[in-house]
Amino acid sequence: MRKSQLQKYARLLARVGVNVKKGQTVFIEAALDQPEFVTMVVEECYKAGASEVFVDWSHQPTGKLSSQYRTLESLSELKPWAKAKWEYKAEKYACRLWIESEDPDGMKGLDPEKMSKVRQAIYPQVKPYRQALENNHQWCIAAVPGKAWAKKVFPELSESKAVEAMWKAILAASRADGKNPVKAWKEHNADLRARCDYLNDLGLKFLEYKSANGTDFKVELLDDGVFAGGNEKTLKGRVFNPNIPTEEVFTAPKAGAAEGIVYSTKPLSYMGQLIENFSLRFENGKVVEVKAEKGEELLKKMVSMDEGAGMLGECALIPHGSPISASGILYYNTLFDENASCHFALGRGYNECLKGFEKLTEEQIKERGVNDSMIHVDFMIGSADMSIVGVTKDGKRVQIFENGTWAF
């Protein structure tokens, strides 16, 4: 991959993704797969005005050993140095950039019961810091190729050629393969904003999903809910793009108000393991039955993590003909696969999808219907024949999706 193109991608992540401003602190989380590229991103953050940039390096194989050999008690403790780091991030409202590259099967074999208990123990310890950062800092999730991930996606190629093919796929999906990625993202964000405006003007109360694979589902939306997509703003008005790539227009459904069954159309990577060919049946807004050809026990653990884990936190609309879908590539990674398909998320909802959220307490936001949970896990349900009908507050029915794509 040409260094000049990677430099453009690094600049995109620094200036459009987290959109670093003068004097800001930046934390980057990355694995050891592409250190040269991470170095480019660090420099671009400094060029954008960052006062300090810290890289938290990770290594999935040693992380797996830690999870395997350490006791549940040890893993469940937020160590003093980790607590201090969270405190510093919250104090500085630090920009945060995650650069994913891990093997989709890299944590296979770990005890899901143990890992679930660890997450349940750690979450309340970090929740105050996450709440302090929410809507007050810029963040972004992006990706680079890892060797194992690239071989998973392109098993027919040699390792070096798979990594090269993965670079091309990531840059194309991220609109970072052209002469001016920053300009491309400006145009893309404008298109997503126009679709949000149209949907928000409809005053929708329900969304009804149907597909030939068996999906037959109805979800209620928030009374004061809004659709969002593309770039977002902090409470201080700083614009950033939380996901690169992104193709979605999304909203928060009303917690506890969904009925029917949905079938997955792509595998779900959760806690370093794959869940495949699964379905979820909802009653009174909560999952009451799960089935999966692979990873069923892990899926059951996921939906029972806490009170909100079995309820929806997001409805995302993405045309079946999106660039990622059209590529025909299955990434085995939610950041990419969710942008090839309409999807839902189990767990935590987005506060910013509620009008006036900034004037409300966390408890008031929850009372208005935004789901609360320690998890937020996207799963893909879009198909080439999917129909989505919106029902407005005055009972009018509006075709939102037809044959898997926008009907407007």
**Rg of the chain (C-alpha set):** 20
Q: Which residues of 134-164 are buried (b: 16+ CB within 10 A; e: fewer)?
A: eeebbbbbbbbbbebbbbbbbeeeeeeebbb
Cβ-proximal residues to 367 (8 Å cutoff; 6+ apart), any chain? none
The residue type at 198: Y
Question: Which pLDDT score, from 0 to 100, does residue 156 have?
Answer: 98
Question: Which pLDDT score, from 0 to 100, does residue 103 have?
Answer: 95
Whole-model pTM: value is 0.89
Which two tokens mark 240? Answer: 């950033």
Which domains occur in the chain, in start order? Answer: 3-173 (3.40.1830.10), 181-237+244-406 (no CATH)
In order along its 408 residues, the chain shows pLDDT tens digits of 899 999 999 999 999 999 999 999 999 999 999 999 999 999 999 999 999 999 999 999 999 999 999 999 999 999 999 999 999 999 999 999 999 999 999 999 999 899 999 999 999 999 999 999 999 999 999 999 999 999 999 999 999 999 999 999 999 999 999 999 999 999 999 999 999 999 999 999 999 999 999 999 999 999 999 999 999 999 999 999 999 999 999 999 999 999 999 999 999 989 878 899 999 999 999 999 999 999 999 999 999 999 999 999 999 999 998 899 999 999 999 999 999 989 999 999 999 999 999 999 999 999 999 999 999 999 999 999 999 999 999 999 999 999 999 999
How far, CA to CA in Å, does 2 sit from each of 37, 144, 177?
A: 12, 14, 10
Q: Which residues pair with 297 in a beta bridge?
A: none
Contact 130, 96 (CB under 8 A): no
Helix 181-202, helix 3-12: angle, nearest 10: 40
Which two tokens mark 164? Answer: 């090269």
C-alpha 140, offset from chain centre: 10
Alpha carbon dihedral 153, 300, 285, 372, in 10-degree steps, equals: -80
Q: Which residues pair with 319 in a beta bridge?
A: none
Question: Which pLDDT score, from 0 to 100, does residue 272 have?
Answer: 79
How far, in Å, CA of 36 to CA of 381, rounded? Answer: 36
